[in-house]
Structure 1
Amino acid sequence: MQQRIIVVDDRVYRPAGWWTPTVHALLEYLHGVGFTCVPKPFGVVDGTEVLGFIQGESGAVGWQRAVPEAGLRSLARLLRDYHQAVAGFVAPDGACWALSDRPAQSGEVICHGDFGPWNVIWDGLRPVGLVDFDFAQPGDALDDAAYALEYLAPFRDDAHAMRWQGFTAPPDRVRRIELFAEEYGMATGEGLVEAVIRRQQLTGRNVRALAERGLEPQRSWVADGFCDELASRVQWSKDNRALFTSRTCVRSQGDSPSPA
């Protein structure tokens, strides 16, 4: 999210949203059940949420950490552990998420909603923290896995993967999906490609929904035509399904020297 974040000693100060009290209840619950690699919530003061600081590396460096298989596996384990920890959470009365006000249904969890390597705190190839729960909401745990795999497989062409995501060679997307599924604990990776495409479509709808509520940067993204880019990503994934199902297909169709 586009916002000013300040770190002072062991506290993080960032703008609060209408969803922040519910997210703080979630974070408090996670600490209570022993999942302590999320920020400790310290409340909201004058429109600013206060969180505990987690030491480590985050942001853009996460892309390079996710390239080696060890980093990929560790992310899958982190997501699995989060989903197991959050399974018993019951949102307080009047809970409001950024993208939903409804309670979780049977079989659903509170998805992180933005589970990518940039929102992980790293110590080498080991995740030590998971941050930015602004887009948490009730949903199928598979949605979180699919969101992560869009970037971890990745569902981008080779030029983009090597220029922007830290890959030094075209990624073996089939193997990376299989490794993620195995480490997460899925019986099979079957259906994950279609799940990623559905999640990409949901991302477009979410961006529009947040823009309609005046949230930045989503409002500017919509005004600048970014939703067309999101739609093109969906189409690329549909056109290149073979990349994710057959190891005989090494290069991305439509690869070019410039990023997607």
Structure 2
Amino acid sequence: MRSAKALQSAARLLRRYHDCTALFMRPMLEDQIWQLSPRPPFEVICHGDFAPYNVVLSGGEVTGIIDFEAAHPGSRCWDLAYAIYRWAPLSTGIAVEDLCGLDTQILRTCIFLDAYGLPAKQRRTLPHMIVDRLNALVAYMESEAANGVERYRRNIEEGHDQIYRRDVAYINEHREQIIAGL
């Protein structure tokens, strides 16, 4: 995930995936049962968890996508928000030297968005969208834990929700710098 080749190929593959799923978007899809709730506007079928741990690499290039359990109808930017959060990664808890620091994270976000082909005018909303996406993830985890789903109860117990909350605060604190960099 650290190489520019992996980052760019991931973005290009996500774009191809979105373009293909846009062809299948029908009003009836939003009425189907999805693990994550459909989120308007319905442009594509979001992967929902497009992250380095859910791709296949070959020769340092991302060549495949796995784990579609979080797929759901939504917008390109909604799916991009989580992808950028994971690939840049826009997070305080990064201990990998090449990936820590806001300037590096903003640069990696730009590389990803350039390779995806997201127009500049749509980039300004991404920090807000990432915060919304992470808050939705925490709400989903809490709801599932309250409904007795062991996996999410354990995630909450282990403090996974707190990681997302810290990252929301980090993105909110640096929102203007992120927007300016995009």
Aligned residues: 176
Query: Larger C-alpha radius of gyration, 1 or 2?
Result: 1
Q: Let me know the Cα RMSD of the aligned residues.
A: 2.7
Q: Indicate whether 1:98 and 2:32 are aligned.
A: no
What amino acid is aligned across from residue 139 of structure 1 in structure 2? G
Shift of 1:94: 7.3
**Mind listing any 5+ residue stretches in structure 2 that lack a counterpart?**
none
Residue matched to 1:185 = 117
| Structure 1 residue identity aligned to 2:36 | L
Counterparts in 2 of 1:204 and 1:93: CA distance versus 1, 3 Å:
closer
Given the alignment of the two structures, is residue 231 of structure 1 paired with residue 165 of structure 2, yes or no? yes
Q: Give the Cα–Cα distance (whole angstroms) in 2 for the partners of residues 106 and 86 of structure 1.
A: 14
Alignment match, 1:215: 149
Deviation at 1:246, TM superposition (A): 5.5
Q: Which has the higher helix share?
A: 2
User: Which protein, 1 or 2, shows the higher relative CO under an 8 Å CA cutoff with sep ≥ 6?
Assistant: 2
- Alpha-carbon shift at residue 92 of structure 1 (Å): 6.8
Counterparts of 1:93 and 1:148 in 2: how far apart (Å)? 22
CA displacement at 1:241 relative to structure 2: 2.8
If the length of structure 1 is used for normalisation, what is the TM-score? 0.59
Confirm or deny: 8 A CA contact 2:141 2:156 kept in the other structure: yes
SS at match of 1:154: coil
Task: Kindly indicate whether the alpha-carbon contact (under 8 Å) linking 2:13 and 2:63 is maintained by their aligned counterparts in 1.
Answer: no
Trace 1:105-116 onto structure 2 (pairs within 5 A). Answer: 107-116=42-51
Gaps of 5+ in 1: 1-65, 248-260
Give the direction of change, closer, same or farther, for the CA distance of 1:127–1:211 in structure 2 (3 Å limit).
same
Cα separation, 1, equivalents of 2:66 and 2:42: 24
Matches within 5 A, 1:83-232: 83-89=18-24, 90=26, 95-100=32-37, 107-157=42-92, 160-161=93-94, 163-164=95-96, 167=98, 170=101, 172-188=104-120, 189-232=123-166
Contact 2:29 2:73 in 1 (8 A): no
Distance 1:218 1:202, change over 3 A: same
Asked if the contact 1:111/1:139 (under 8 Å) is kept, the reply is: yes
Q: Secondary structure at the match of 1:156?
A: coil
Using the size of structure 2 for normalisation, the TM-score is 0.81
- SS of corresponding position for 2:73: strand
Q: Counterpart in 2 of 1:57?
A: none
Q: CA 1:197–1:122 in 2, change beyond 3 Å: closer, same or farther? A: same
**Separation (CA, whole Å) in 2 of partners of 1:190 and 1:93:** 27
Alignment of 1:61-100 (within 5 A): 66-89=1-24, 90=26, 95-100=32-37
Q: Cα gap change, 1:214/1:187 in structure 2, threshold over 3 Å: closer, same or farther?
A: same
Work out the percentage of aligned pairs sharing the same amino acid: 29
> Is the alpha carbon distance of 1:187 and 1:128 closer, same or farther for their aligned partners in structure 2, counting shifts above 3 Å?
same
Query: How far does the alpha carbon of each residue in 1:206-254 deviate from its partner, in whole angstroms, 9 at most, with x for none?
Result: 212332343342121224443233222211221233552456xxxxxxx
Contact 1:112–1:136 (Cα < 8 Å) also in 2:
yes
